[in-house]
Structure 1
Amino acid sequence: MGDASRKRKVRGRKIRASREQKAGRRAKKELTRKASNAGDRTGDSPLSDPEEVRPESFVETDAVEALQERITGWLEAKQPVHLIGPTGCGKTALALSVAAERGRPVVWINGDDAVDTAALVGDHAGGERYMEDDRFVSGVSKQTEIVRERWVDNPLSVAVREGATLVYNEFSRSDPAAHNVLLSVFEEGVLERPSKRGEDRTIDVHPEFRAVLTSNDVEYAGVHEQQDALLDRFVGVHADYYDAETEREIVRAHVDLSDDDIATVVETTRTLRDDLEVVVGTRAAITAAKGLAVFDGHDDTGAFAEETLANVFTDVLAPKVAGEDGGDIDELRSQISETI
């Protein structure tokens, strides 16, 4: 009787220990599941639906469609496209439009000096821990703390794994050293994650992965010269300011003005672009049109008064020349007034 009782007690302890081990295994599986779904769980996933990134009020004239077809053709040929051109000419909208047309998820990166390799591929983001409680001997409890480092994939890793279209805006504003990881992506079809340990240190590039990168021309401030080994793996498509008809259509899509007023804004913008040393992009035309829609400075003939045009365009372009004494702005206003 006593032996049987002892056996039952021992069996009871074994059952409890077995249950605790199963609970520990379930905790490990749950921890793994949570870590693998961290992006979806926290809303940090960089994947976007293509329709969500499609630019609003995007205009497709013959000139725009011709550029789109060139970029799309190179992407179909599995070539990453480097879209280069002056600021304010619509590179970003064009890149997003092309990405949306592919129908694949889109991943966005905005370049600047703070972007490094970890910002592109991912890094360890702290640890997650849980306690495992073992009771193999009556009255003795053994607790083990298990810590698991959590890795978070950043945009490039997600894009190559999911076969997304990567739109890397202002690519040349990032430090060239951060882009070493792109060499193996475009040449060998493999992404290496230097900070990652174990078998999944590398990711095979999904066959549907494509990349569109945008950069300002090299003479712009803040632009880094990228390494030739990487640039040799791109095709370069040059984007410039569109023709007058396209610029009118772009302004019309953003601002409610009469056709005559839009024509005046675009004509003034294009004239200032030729006469001034500062960059006068299509974005400047849109901003000026928005201002003129508010100020409504028409003269007796129904056209915009020259003074109103001069004031509005001076305000739009002043940030490009603003100095401590304001003299540069006075000179800008004089040049604009003379041109108008």
Structure 2
Amino acid sequence: MNPSNEISGTREFVITPFFEDIITRTLRYLQAGFPIHFVGPTGVGKTSLALYIAKQLKRKVTIIRGHHELSNKDLLGHYAGVRKKEIIDNYIHTVIKKEQEITPVWVQGQLIEAVKNGHVVIYDEFSRSRPETNNIFLSLLEEKVLPLYGHGKGSFIKCHPEFSIIFTSNPEEYAGTFHTQDALLDRLITIQLDSCDKETEIEILKHKAGLNSCDAEEIVRLVTSLRSYGNGFCPSLRASLMIAAVAKKSKIEIDRENILYQALCMDVLNRPMSQLLPKQHPIKIRELILKEILRREEIK
């Protein structure tokens, strides 16, 4: 978990009509006191969007990363050993007095700090945490109190009126995710995030990688055409950004006939396409990528 005043990278978030609508709706729901849940495949920008929205609320941010070992101890706090203090009195050289003080050390979980002081919490990939861990959010979202299991300093704390939370997750069929209890989903406003439109993806490549419009359009044309072979999400926006960033940094000309550009696209796109078409032979996958690289189809 990571609390911060400044969120790195949010200044570079690219605002287009595609994102403006989602941002406006999300801020409206959060300001009305409801938690938000962004769900969508990897690479569509769920976390970046959540970070940008959190910054607009102008409050401290606490980031929780979901994983299968996350527990109430991480969220609420736990005892981490003891602190020992020993005093030796030898003022009279023939007499030695010893006094020991042993105090258990309590490490406070950051969710407590966030709830008390009205932070914006981003619970990233929350469905990778076990449902029994996420049960703690049921009371927090419904009764606006945080139960303090095993805390020893009261049974609960009241939620700050400006506390907000944004959940993100991949669809449940993704590896490493747990089924989310209906009681938790019923408390969230879920917004489905799909791949951004071509115009937005082009603007992102121009802004983040410093490409001109023509080069950005060519990369988006290629990746979009490969997505059509599957579910429309893979290869993700990350693949486009990788190609754009390496080409810019290494001064590789983005040209269909350029062997260096072809090799770069092969290296970046081979894995996602093999994942998308698992029954295809590796050679066929590479032939397919090359065919799409060389395709003379203008972006619409």
Same-fold status (TM-score > 0.5): yes
Superimposed CA distance per residue, residues 294-319 of structure 1 (whole angstroms, 9 cap, x where no aligned partner) = 26245xxxx33275554323211334
Contact 1:122 1:193 in 2 (8 A): no
How many residue pairs are counted as aligned between the two chains? 284
C-alpha separation in 1, matches of 2:228 and 2:251: 26
1:231 is the counterpart of 2:181:
no
Partner residue, 2:296: none
Once the 2 structures are TM-superposed, how far is the Cα of residue 169 of structure 1 from its aligned partner?
Answer: 0.9
C-alpha separation in 1, matches of 2:205 and 2:51: 19
Partner residue, 1:112: 67
Partner residue, 2:35: 80
Closer, same or farther in 2 for the Cα pair 1:164/1:53, shift >3 Å? farther
Contact 2:7 2:51 in 1 (8 A): no
- The 5-angstrom pairing of residues 1-340 of structure 1 reads 46-49=2-5, 51-53=6-8, 55-131=10-86, 143-199=98-154, 201-276=155-230, 279-293=234-248, 294=250, 296-297=252-253, 303-305=255-257, 308-320=260-272, 321=274, 328-340=281-293
The normalised TM-score by structure 2 is 0.85
C-alpha separation in 2, matches of 1:334 and 1:219: 29
Q: What residue ranges of structure 2 are gaps of 5+ in the alignment? A: 294-300
The normalised TM-score by structure 1 is 0.76
Amino acid at match of 1:296: I
Amino acid at match of 2:118: G
Amino acid at match of 1:120: L
Contact 1:310 1:333 in 2 (8 A): no
Give 3-state SS (helix, strand or coil) of 1:331's partner: helix
Please tell me the root mean square deviation across aligned C-alpha atoms, in Å.
2.6
Closer, same or farther in 2 for the Cα pair 1:328/1:97, shift >3 Å? farther
Structure with greater helix percent: 1
Identity, in percent, stands at 33
Closer, same or farther in 2 for the Cα pair 1:155/1:331, shift >3 Å? farther
Contact 1:182 1:230 in 2 (8 A): yes
C-alpha separation in 2, matches of 1:306 and 1:86: 32
Give 3-state SS (helix, strand or coil) of 1:52's partner: coil
Superimposed CA distance per residue, residues 112-157 of structure 1 (whole angstroms, 9 cap, x where no aligned partner) = 11212212221112222334789xxxx9886542222121122222
Once the 2 structures are TM-superposed, how far is the Cα of residue 213 of structure 1 from its aligned partner?
Answer: 0.8
Closer, same or farther in 2 for the Cα pair 1:46/1:295, shift >3 Å? closer
C-alpha separation in 2, matches of 1:70 and 1:329: 43
Structure 1 ranges of 4+ moved more than 6 A: 139-142
C-alpha separation in 2, matches of 1:68 and 1:328: 42
Superimposed CA distance per residue, residues 181-229 of structure 1 (whole angstroms, 9 cap, x where no aligned partner) = 1111111111122221133x42211111100011112222222111111
C-alpha separation in 1, matches of 2:9 and 2:62: 12
Amino acid at match of 2:238: R
Once the 2 structures are TM-superposed, how far is the Cα of residue 257 of structure 1 from its aligned partner?
Answer: 2.3
Amino acid at match of 1:312: L
Once the 2 structures are TM-superposed, how far is the Cα of residue 103 of structure 1 from its aligned partner?
Answer: 0.4
Closer, same or farther in 2 for the Cα pair 1:334/1:102, shift >3 Å? same
Q: What residue ranges of structure 1 are gaps of 5+ in the alignment? A: 1-44
